[in-house]
Amino acid sequence: MSPYPLLVDLVRARIGAVIFAKVAGEDGDAARDRIHLSPGRRWFPQDAPICRVHADAAMFVGGIRALLLQSLHPLAMAGVAQHSGYRGDPWGRLQRTSEFLATTTFGTAADAERAVARVRGVHRRIRGVTSDGTPYAASDPHLLRWVHAAEADSFLTAYRRYGSGRLDQADRDCYVAQTAEVAEALGAVGSPRSERELHTQLEEFRAELRSTPEARAAARFILFNAPVSAALRPAYTGLAAAGVGLMPRWTRWPLRLPYLPIAEATVVRAAGQAVTSGIRWAVTAPADRPDPSVDRVQDQPGDEPVPA
pLDDT digits (tens, 9 = 90+) for 199-226: 999 999 999 999 999 999 999 999 998 8
CA-closest candidate to residue 259, choices 240, 243, 244, 237: 244
What pTM, to 2 d.p., does this model score?
0.88
pLDDT tier, 3 (very low <50, low <70, confident <90, very high otherwise): low
β-strand pairing of 40-41 with 127-129: unpaired
Kindly indicate the confidence band of residue 287, based on its pLDDT and cuts at 50, 70 and 90: low
Report yes or no on 3 lying in a domain: no
CA 45 to CA 61: how far, in whole Å? 24
Three-class DSSP category at 257: coil
Taking the mean position of all CA atoms in its chain, how far away is CA 86? 15
For residue 15, the model assigns a pLDDT of 78
More confident residue, 268 or 28: 268
Residue 128 DSSP SS3 = strand
Number of structural domains, the chain?
A: 1
Closest to 100 measured CA to CA, from 84, 83, 120: 120
As a whole number, the mean pLDDT across the chain is: 89
- pLDDT bin (cut points 50, 70, 90) of residue 2 is low
Q: What is the DSSP letter of 216?
A: H
Mean pLDDT of 126-146: 95
Q: Which residue has the higher pLDDT, 49 or 86?
A: 49
Per-residue pLDDT at 131? 86
Asked if 128 and 136 count as a contact pair (C-beta separation under 8 A), the reply is yes
Structural domain boundaries enclosing 26: 10-286
Q: 232 or 6: which carries more pLDDT confidence?
A: 232
| 94: amino acid identity, one letter | L
Residue 88 has pLDDT above 80, yes or no: no
| Residue 128 within a domain | yes
Is 303 inside any structural domain? Answer: no
Tell me, yes or no, whether 255 lies in a domain: yes
Residue type, 196: R
Q: Per the domain annotation, does 90 fall within a domain?
A: yes
CA dist 157 and 137 (Å) reads: 28
Give me the pLDDT at residue 293, please: 40
Mean pLDDT on 296-305: 38
Residue 301 lies in a domain: no
In a domain, 306, yes or no: no
- Residue whose C-alpha is closest to residue 140's, from 88, 201, 65, 76: 76
Report the pLDDT averaged over residues 227-244.
93
For residue 305, being part of any structural domain is answered with: no
> Residue 106 in contact with residue 35, Cβ under 8 Å?
yes
Burial class of residue 151, CB neighbours in 10 A (0-12, 13-18, 19+): buried
pLDDT, tens digit (0-9, with 9 covering 90-100), for 162-179: 999 999 999 999 999 999
Provide the Cα torsion 120, 295, 49, 64; round to 10°. 50
Specify the pLDDT at position 219: 96
Inter-helix orientation angle 4-24/90-106, to 10°: 100
